[in-house]
């Protein structure tokens, strides 16, 4: 099958090695309009090298670019426009997809390597809100994309299950807690008393002193405090797992902050042994160049997030022998991770250079960050249930005789919520809008899912099976679909390289549009000599749509 690299090699020879192959690959464009070819190479950067105008250079290069897959080459206004042989490419693309099925697009660059991916990480005894959606679905998609690139992936949910908030909760429970109500609805009731604690503490600061004392008891192993903490943790996890089940997300480890309580002394000792630990106003820090010092121990001797994360990084590297580690955590934690990675580099761990923070923008409500303390949260489970209900309503209106309506409504509703997040570049803030999220028209998950379901219907009616696949005889109208299918492996590689699931989401929209345009102008089930090749094209699109949605953590129903 044709690879972009063949075009790169041909241009490299034509420019007599004056540009590196990597530069050529980054420079090659996909023309906006089909009549301008399948690839375009702009010659403007070569003008200084050859001391000629881009138009002249384009004409000279166009006469030298050729290989077995190129139909023709044209020079147009400083660009070298390359047209591929449609029949050859179509045959190669379709046969590759049909023969490899869901394996199509699989990359090998990560084979034999392990990545740990730290994502989701909600706080125990706090609700799983829309604010947690981003880390959860971005992390899951990045994990799937990493596997598609050949890596072994360890999915880690670094739970927020330790800290002074548990002192606050213990005090709040003693003052206002109702055991029966909490057992019925743990997180909702714990949130109520947590919010009340902050409201009352604004008027009575002594509550904060009580909370600090309660957490100190917990740290010292007080039996009652530990029992309450274990109860809060277990009850919260049970609720979280309901949300993960709805989203179809799994983890290999739930080792949270508390897991590293007995592993932090080693970190402090290692830092001291290497002479990296310094005193600063009674606290212990590691001084860093061009950024604030990393605080390791407070004046009262307690450890901090950085200490835990250092312990976690060491543990993960030693336990999983990971070659890379990703942290899918909000953009506001960027400084923390820069400090963390720098400290590990100063400790002379070579693998520290393979640690990567994958930041993302915030989920906003009315232009502001959601706040658990003030009770301004939108519960993720409620949003998912609303989306499922709306999907069910649409099914009742448009296809009331559909089998397994409830299951398909669940797949479509959750898919809408996930896709709405992942179609945006992760660094963008997203304004929470239930109306927009549950819009089933336009650039949405349900649009892609419906395209897949429509194709499955065509394949059933056409009684397609892979044994009657044909790969030649497509009309010119099918070419944009073939070109889009051909690009999937490249998109898979780029999505991993940029740690950006929106590359996949945008690609799926583009492929769906290309197919629907083709479908609108082609009688696919017409019984003529091209019927089987048209069905083969349909089957290829269905395979790639299903696999692309899977990478995003979304299912592709065969009926809708």
Per-residue pLDDT of the chain (560 residues; tens, 9 = 90+): 456 888 999 999 999 888 999 999 989 998 988 889 999 999 999 998 999 999 999 999 999 998 888 999 999 999 999 999 999 999 999 999 999 999 999 999 999 999 999 999 998 888 788 878 999 999 999 999 999 999 999 999 999 999 888 999 999 999 999 999 988 888 889 989 998 999 999 999 999 999 999 998 998 899 999 999 999 999 889 889 999 999 999 999 999 999 999 999 999 999 999 999 999 988 999 999 999 999 998 887 666 889 999 999 999 999 999 999 999 999 999 999 999 999 999 999 999 999 999 999 988 877 777 665 555 667 888 889 999 999 999 899 999 999 999 999 999 999 999 999 999 999 998 887 767 776 767 889 999 999 999 999 999 999 998 887 889 999 999 999 999 999 999 999 999 999 999 999 999 999 999 999 999 999 999 888 899 999 999 999 999 999 999 999 999 999 99
Q: Which of 501, 497, 494, 486 is nearest to 537 (CA)?
A: 486
Domain ranges of the chain: 4-84, 114-266+303-369, 380-552
On whether the 114-266+303-369 domain is CATH 3.40.50.1100, my answer is no
pTM of the model: 0.91
Residue 135 in tokens:
């880390």
In 3D space, the residue among 435, 456, 378, 383 whose CA is nearest the CA of residue 414 turns out to be 383
Q: Which fold has domain 380-552?
A: Isoleucyl-tRNA Synthetase; Domain 1 (1.10.730)
522 neighbors 541 (Cβ within 8 angstroms): no
**Nearest residue to 95 (alpha-carbon basis) of 418, 539, 406, 521:** 539
Q: Are both 114-266+303-369 and 380-552 of the same fold?
A: no
Half-sphere exposure of 159 (CA within 13 A, CB side): 22
Rounded CA-CA distance 27/29 in Å is 6
Of 383, 450, 412, the C-alpha closest to 404 is 412
Q: Does domain 4-84 have CATH number 3.30.1360.70?
A: yes
- In this structure, is the dihedral angle defined by the CA atoms of residues 318, 320, 324 and 325, taken in order, positive or negative? negative
Distance CA 66, CA 74 (A): 11
Residues recorded for the chain: 560
User: Angle formed by the axes of helices 405-422 and 502-521, to 10°?
Assistant: 120
CB distance 84 to 38 below 8 Å: yes
Report helix, strand or coil for 66.
coil
């Amino acid at each position: 099958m044709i690879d972009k690299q063949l075009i790169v090699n041909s241009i490299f020879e034509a420019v007599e090695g004056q540009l590196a192959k990597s530069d050529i690959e980054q420079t090659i464009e996909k023309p906006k309009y089909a009549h301008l070819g399948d690839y375009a190479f702009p010659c403007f950067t070569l003008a200084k090298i050859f001391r000629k105008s881009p138009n002249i250079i384009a004409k000279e290069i166009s006469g030298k670019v050729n290989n077995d897959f190129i139909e023709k080459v044209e020079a147009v206004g400083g660009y070298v426009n390359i047209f591929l042989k449609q029949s050859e490419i179509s045959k190669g693309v379709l046969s590759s997809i049909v023969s490899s099925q869901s394996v199509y697009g699989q990359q090998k660059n990560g084979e034999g390597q392990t990545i740990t991916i730290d994502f989701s990480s909600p706080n125990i005894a706090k609700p799983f809100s829309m604010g947690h959606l981003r880390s959860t679905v971005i992390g899951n998609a990045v994990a799937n994309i990493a596997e598609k690139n050949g890596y072994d992936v360890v999915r880690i949910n670094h739970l927020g299950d330790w800290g002074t908030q548990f002192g606050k909760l213990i005090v709040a429970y003693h003052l206002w807690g109702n055991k029966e109500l909490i057992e019925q609805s743990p997180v909702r009731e714990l949130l109520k008393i947590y919010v009340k604690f902050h409201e009352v503490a604004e008027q009575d600061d002594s509550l904060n002193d009580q909370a600090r004392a309660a957490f100190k008891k917990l740290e010292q192993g007080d039996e009652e405090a530990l029992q309450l903490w274990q109860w809060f943790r277990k009850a919260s996890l049970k609720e979280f797992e309901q949300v993960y089940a709805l989203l179809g997300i799994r983890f290999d480890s739930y080792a949270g902050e508390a897991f590293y309580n007995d592993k932090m002394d080693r970190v402090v000792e290692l830092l001291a042994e290497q002479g990296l630990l310094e005193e600063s106003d009674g606290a212990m820090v590691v001084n860093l160049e061009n950024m604030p010092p990393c605080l390791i121990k407070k004046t009262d001797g307690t450890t901090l997030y950085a200490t835990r994360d250092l312990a976690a990084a060491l543990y993960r590297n030693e336990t999983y022998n990971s070659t890379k580690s990703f942290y899918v955590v909000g953009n506001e934690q960027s400084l923390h991770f820069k400090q963390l990675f720098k400290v590990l580099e100063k400790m002379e761990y070579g693998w520290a250079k393979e640690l990567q923070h994958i930041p993302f923008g915030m989920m906003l409500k009315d232009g502001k960050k959601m706040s658990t303390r003030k009770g301004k949260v939108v519960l993720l489970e409620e949003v998912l249930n609303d989306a499922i209900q709306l999907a069910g309503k649409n099914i009742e209106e448009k296809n009331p005789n559909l089998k397994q309506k409830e299951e398909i409504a669940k797949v479509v509703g959750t898919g809408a919520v996930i896709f709405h997040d992942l179609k945006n570049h992760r660094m963008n803030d997203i304004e929470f809008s239930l109306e927009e999220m549950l819009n089933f028209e336009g650039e949405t998950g349900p649009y892609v899912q419906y395209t897949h379901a429509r194709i499955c219907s065509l394949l059933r009616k056409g009684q397609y099976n892979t044994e009657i696949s044909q790969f030649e005889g497509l009309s010119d109208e099918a070419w944009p679909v073939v070109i889009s299918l051909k690009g999937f492996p490249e998109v898979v590689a780029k999505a991993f390289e940029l740690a950006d699931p929106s590359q996949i989401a945008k690609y799926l929209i583009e492929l769906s549009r290309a197919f629907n345009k083709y479908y609108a102008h082609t009688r696919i089930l017409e019984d003529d000599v091209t019927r089987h090749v048209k069905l083969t094209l349909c089957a290829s699109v269905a395979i790639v749509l299903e696999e692309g949605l899977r990478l995003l953590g979304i299912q592709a129903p065969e009926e809708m």
